[in-house]
Structure 1
Amino acid sequence: MGMSVTISAAGAQDAEQILKLQYLCYQSEAELYGDYSIEPLVQTLADLTEELGRGHALVARLGDEVVASVRGEADETGTVTIAHLIVHPRLRRHGLGGRLLDAIEAHFAGDPAPAAKRFQLRAGHRSEGNLRLYRKKGYAAVGTREVGPRLTLVTLEKAA
């Protein structure tokens, strides 16, 4: 490739590229669960732009192309919910997802208001690659919630 991937804060100007990447990345999840109506595949640009304004998002770029992204949002109790960790299919299994997860945690760990006490994320019960990454990064399952006949979400947490 010849270029290095850089990680930086995402802004509203990145919303369209993030949405397109999200749509591409969640195709495999939709296929895994036999459900193409999952939230990441039906989210609108307006909804994503509003979500980016509420929390903090990071993008990884290869040149000008957004090739990975993650979003996080802290609540008043100090729980940081991390969501939509996506990596372009051609760049998976090279550590980029782990780098983004570390970077979003570092952002919230250094953010004084409110102080991060725990990090929380969710993954589908069949999403073995995602679950393996989260366990490797110190997350442990704390609960499950059935959201449909084919999908159970696993909630994972770790202390900040």
Structure 2
Amino acid sequence: MGTSVTISAATDEDAEQILKLQYLCYQSEAALYDDYGIEPLTQTLAALRAELSGGCVLVARLGDEVVGSVRGTVDASGTAAIAKLIVHPRLQRHGLGGRLLAAVEQRLAEERSATRFRLFTGHRSEGNLRLYRSHGYAPVGTEERSRRLSLVTLEKEAAAEEFVAQA
């Protein structure tokens, strides 16, 4: 591929591409847990647009195509919730998920004063768990959602260098 992947803030014009990519990417999760009613597969365009206006949403682009995305919000205590990290299947296992994760962490720390990062994934999602652990996340809890699904919550503290990067 002659064009490099760039990461930037998502715009409202990206909403449809993000939603289509989200639908594609979450098919494997739905199959893994035999549950095609999961929220990423049922989210509406209006709900996604609301997330775009209220949170930190990044996209990875290959030319004009959105090939990855991630979202984050920060609560009053400084804890950032990172969600819906997706990478197009043809670009997975090339480091793009890690780049998106690092980019959203940096934005949330610099622009929204995040001091801790939290995310979750299904207990059978080994690729996700491996990625998050390799980026410093540690499991802090597990919640059984159904007989087939337990959600693993992982956290990490924001690194000191994230706070002094702008100094």
Give the match for residue 157 of structure 1: 155
Would you identify which runs of 4 or more consecutive aligned residues in structure 1 move more than 2 Å?
Answer: none
Which residue in 2 is equivalent to 1:83? 83
Distance in structure 2 (CA, Å) of the matches to 1:119 and 1:62:
27
State TM-score, norm by structure 1.
0.97
Superposition deviation, residue 149 in structure 1: 1.6
Q: CA deviation at 1:13?
A: 1.1
Q: Secondary structure at the match of 1:61?
A: strand
1:68 equivalent in alignment to 2:68: yes
Matches within 5 A, 1:49-64: 49-64=49-64
**How far apart in 1 are the matches of 2:32 and 2:52?**
27
| SS of residue in 2 equivalent to 1:132 | helix
Shift of 1:109: 1.4
Match of 1:132 in 2: 130
Correspondence for 1:92: 92
Q: TM-score, normalised by structure 2?
A: 0.93
1:38 aligned onto 2:49: no
The letter for the 1-side match of 2:132 is: Y
What secondary structure is seen at the aligned counterpart in 2 of 1:110?
helix
User: How much is the aligned-residue C-alpha RMSD, in angstroms?
Assistant: 0.7
- Give the 5 Å matches for 1:114-129: 115-129=113-127
Letter in 2 for 1:138: G
1:3-45 CA-partner distances (Å, limit 9, x unpaired)? 1001000011111000000000000000000000000000000
Shift of 1:83: 0.2
In the alignment, the residues of structure 2 paired with residue 109 and residue 26 of structure 1 have an alpha-carbon distance, to the nearest angstrom, of 27
The residue type paired with residue 89 of structure 1 is P
In structure 2, what is the Cα distance between the partners aligned to 1:154 and 1:108?
Answer: 22
**1:141 counterpart (135, 139, 163):** 139
Correspondence 1:10 to 2:24: no
CA–CA distance in 1 between the matches of 2:150 and 2:53?
29
